[in-house]
Structures are given as structure tokens and as C-alpha cells.
Amino acid sequence: MILKGKRILVGVTGSIAAYKTAILTRLLIKSGAEVQLVATTSALDFITPLTLATLSKRPVLSAFFEKSSGQWHNHVELGLWADLFLVAPLSANTLSKFAQGACDNLLTATYLSCRCPVMLAPAMDLDMYQHPSVRANLEKVASFGNIVLDAETGELASGLSGQGRMMEPEHILERVFDFFNSKNEFGGKKVLITLGPTQEALDPVRFLSNHSSGKMGFALAQAFKAAGADVHVVAGPVALKLDGHGFQVQRVTTATEMYEATKALHGQMDVIVFAAAVADFRPESPASQKIKKQGEELPLRLFPNVDIAFELGKMKKEGQIHVGFALETEQEEVHAKAKLIRKNFDLVVLNSATEEGVGFKHDTNQVRIFNKNGGDVQTALLPKLDIARLIVEEVKKAAAWS
Ligand code: CTP
């Protein structure tokens, strides 16, 4: 019941995604929130007020004045009642009204008079979402301080495929949790996280890589996001769905690509977490055609890859925090502390490769976090998201701005 006692005004506008507002309403109610729906008339072409009223346990408001009951719905009171005004889905039409300050229905009037933060989940077809006027309106409403939840990529109602789908209700719920939970300790701070493995081609169909799933880096991205940071992710090839969580994501394949992407962002970042399991070696020169069986043996010459953390450690700026990981199988503390110094980390997170439930692929982890000033924190075996929260705490303690 994370949202117990929270009052959420949910706005619904005319979009096929309005059917998902029913699921969203149910999730919010199940999490303990009080939900009041405000719908435009065209929203009610897509979803019945009876469905939404039953799920939210309150009548859906749509008009200023209800002839049947003679009731007047006061938009100012509605706006003052809410802790959050969440408009999902937000159509291009209502977006444009929000951008212009138009006030021609109960929902737009409520938007103009509400004092609480506003979260917007646009839903549009591919080309509409990319249209320069829509992009300009999205930027404009974001500049007013509204939280804009990026549309997700996938199949669209038109049959086209691309960005435009309303963020999935489960993802919106995560963002609502973050909004209420966040103490905004990393507000205005930029955090870059490398995650996943890298792949180094042997030939067009084979590569060298490792078992990294990217789960720890993903948990860190979520934890920093929840703490209010502007999160950038440079991800090697992982199966995780990284879009729709509010991070800026760049996907790369090789260690060299990861280095280039990370170096380009490094200068603007306040915190960099090197959570990727970068392949230390690459084949001397990948074959341009598939390597055929010829004899018994195939000698492989491997060249060392760039050590991203080491190279960027040399460029570390005053006040920047670098966090590294160390995966060790023996003399763990000695090796981890050596990496802390060699790679100019502020913190190093030691994973043991030998313990049960720890490291690659698992959803749990147990770590020791060493600080360059001698601090040493040992965690229990916990879900990776909890470990990530503890790491975020340690980063906060280490940061000069905190
Ligand atoms: N790292 C990196 N680039 C590399 C190798 C490692 O950025 N080419 C980073 C990892 O993301 C991690 C830290 O350096 O934060 C330590 O990685 P690890 O694989 O434990 O250590 P290595 O330096 O590769 O040393 P070794 O494999 O000899 O233990």
C-alpha cells in the first residue's frame, strides 16, 4: 500500500490507449491511492465511465455541469484536492491545449487551476508523435515543470510500429511510486551507468562475451532515477527492456563502442557507475567470412581491450564520483582494493563469484562496498534493487554536494 493516503487525479483524453487507464486505475487503487477520474467527452468514446467509476469507486467527472443531478463540478476544488494530476493517455489535442493554456472543458480547466505536480503520459500514432508541432508542445509543457513520461515503442493501433504507445500502466505506476518516494536527493544530478556484457566478434556469426545479464546495472539505473537523478545508460547487448523507465539509453556491442559512448558523456556527468562486464580481450581481427573447420586446432590471438574505467579515471573531474565493480574469485578484498586505487574509483563494489545467489544472472546479490577513505560496508543477500539503493546511499555519502 505504497500510495496509501495519496490522492491522484487521473485525466483521460481521447485515445485508443484510454482502455489502459482502466488497468492503471486498478493498479493505483490496489497500491492504496484515492483516485478521481476526469475525462474529456472524446475519452468516453473509448472507455465507458461505468468501467472507470467501478474501478476507482467514484463517479467519473466530465462536464462542468450535470443536468441530471443539477451538480456543478468545481475544477478549482478538484485541482486543490489532488497530490498528483496524472493525465494518461494525453492526446495530441489536449497536449496542444495544455501548451497554449486553452480552457474548454473540465479537464483543461482543472489542469490550469491545479497546484499539484502534473505527470503526462502522451499516446499518439508514430508520425503524430514525431511531428515538430507535437515535439514543440511536449518541450513546452515540460518547461512548465510537468513530468512528461516518454511514449513507448512497439505496435501502434494504426498498424505502424514505432514510438507513440502510451507508457505501460505498470511503468507509469513505477514512476508514480518514484514520484512519491523520491526525496529528490539526486535532483539535477546526472548519472551515467555502463551495464551488460560486451561482444567481440570472431567472425560474422560468432563472438566472445560473458554471462553478464545487466540486471545489477539496471537496478542501479532504477535506484538513481528514484532518487531524482537524470540517468544515462550505456548498455551492452542485454535482453532487458531498458526503454520506458525514464533513462536515456544508448546501446552498444563492443568494448570500443562502449568506451566511445561513455567518454562522450563523461564530462557532463556527476556520477559514473562502471557496472558493465567489459570483455577484456578481442580477437586480433575478426574474419570477414564465417570461419570454416579446417584442421584440429584454431589458434586465436587476442588483443587487450581498452579499460574504460581506467581511462576515464585519468580524466575524472573535481567532484565527480566514479563507482566500480570488482568480480573476484580469490583474495577478494585485496584485489578489490587494488582496483579502487588503480582505476581511481571513489567506491568499489565487490561481488564474490563463488557464493550462491550472487553475481551474474541472479536477481539477488551480496556485496561489500569499499570507500577510498577506508569505509567498508557489508550487505546481506538482498534483491538487486535493494543492493542498488544501498550503493546509491554510499554514493550520496561520498559526494561533496550532499
Ligand atoms: N572495466 C572497464 N573496462 C574494462 C574492464 C573493466 O570499465 N575493459 C570496469 C568494470 O566495469 C568494473 C571494473 O572495471 O567496474 C573492474 O572490472 P573487473 O572485470 O573486475 O576487473 P578487470 O580490470 O577486468 O581485472 P581482472 O579481469 O584482471 O580481474
All three cell numbers of 14, joined, read 481521447
pTM for the predicted model, two decimal places = 0.67
- 182, 212, 243: which is the final residue of a domain? 182
* Cα–Cα distance for residue pair 369/357, rounded to 1 Å: 18
The atom number, within ligand 1, closest to the CA of 309 reads 7
Given 210, 365, 371, 373, which residue is catalytic?
210
Return the number of other C-beta atoms located less than 10 Å from residue 357's C-beta: 11
Supply the residue whose CA is at minimum distance from atom 14 of ligand 1: 309
The atom number, within ligand 1, closest to the CA of 255 reads 8
Residue range of the domain that includes 12: 7-182
344 and 238, same structural domain? yes
Supply the residue whose CA is at minimum distance from atom 4 of ligand 1: 307
Domain total for the chain? 2
CATH number at residue 370: 3.40.50.10300
288 lies in a domain?
no
Print pLDDT tens along the chain (402 aa).
778 889 999 999 999 999 999 999 999 999 999 999 999 999 999 999 999 999 999 999 998 877 777 777 788 788 889 999 999 999 999 999 999 999 999 999 999 999 888 999 999 998 999 999 999 999 888 878 788 898 999 988 888 888 999 999 999 998 998 888 766 789 889 999 999 999 999 999 999 999 999 999 999 998 898 888 999 999 999 998 887 677 899 999 999 999 999 999 999 999 999 999 999 999 998 999 999 988 788 889 999 999 999 999 999 999 999 999 998 889 999 999 999 999 999 999 998 776 676 666 677 889 999 999 999 999 998 878 889 989 999 999 999 776
83 lies in a domain?
yes
Q: Give 339 Cα–ligand 1 centroid separation in angstroms.
A: 8
* Cα–Cα distance for residue pair 218/260, rounded to 1 Å: 20
The atom number, within ligand 1, closest to the CA of 345 reads 15
378 and 311, same structural domain? yes
363 and 266, same structural domain? yes
Q: Give 393 Cα–ligand 1 centroid separation in angstroms.
A: 23
pLDDT digits (tens, 9 = 90+) for 170-216: 999 989 988 887 667 898 899 999 999 999 999 999 999 999 999 99
Q: Give 218 Cα–ligand 1 centroid separation in angstroms.
A: 18
- 151, 182, 213: which is the final residue of a domain? 182
1 lies in a domain?
no
76 and 224, same structural domain? no
Supply the residue whose CA is at minimum distance from atom 17 of ligand 1: 326
105 and 225, same structural domain? no
CATH number at residue 154: 3.40.50.1950
All three cell numbers of 278, joined, read 567489459
- 182, 209, 244: which is the final residue of a domain? 182
Supply the residue whose CA is at minimum distance from atom 27 of ligand 1: 280
Q: Give 57 Cα–ligand 1 centroid separation in angstroms.
A: 54
Cell 528514484, located at residue: 226
Q: Which residues line ligand 1 (CB under 6 A)?
A: 255, 274, 276, 278, 280, 305, 307-309, 324-327, 339, 343
Q: Note if 146 is an active site residue.
A: no
Q: Give 138 Cα–ligand 1 centroid separation in angstroms.
A: 40
203 lies in a domain?
yes
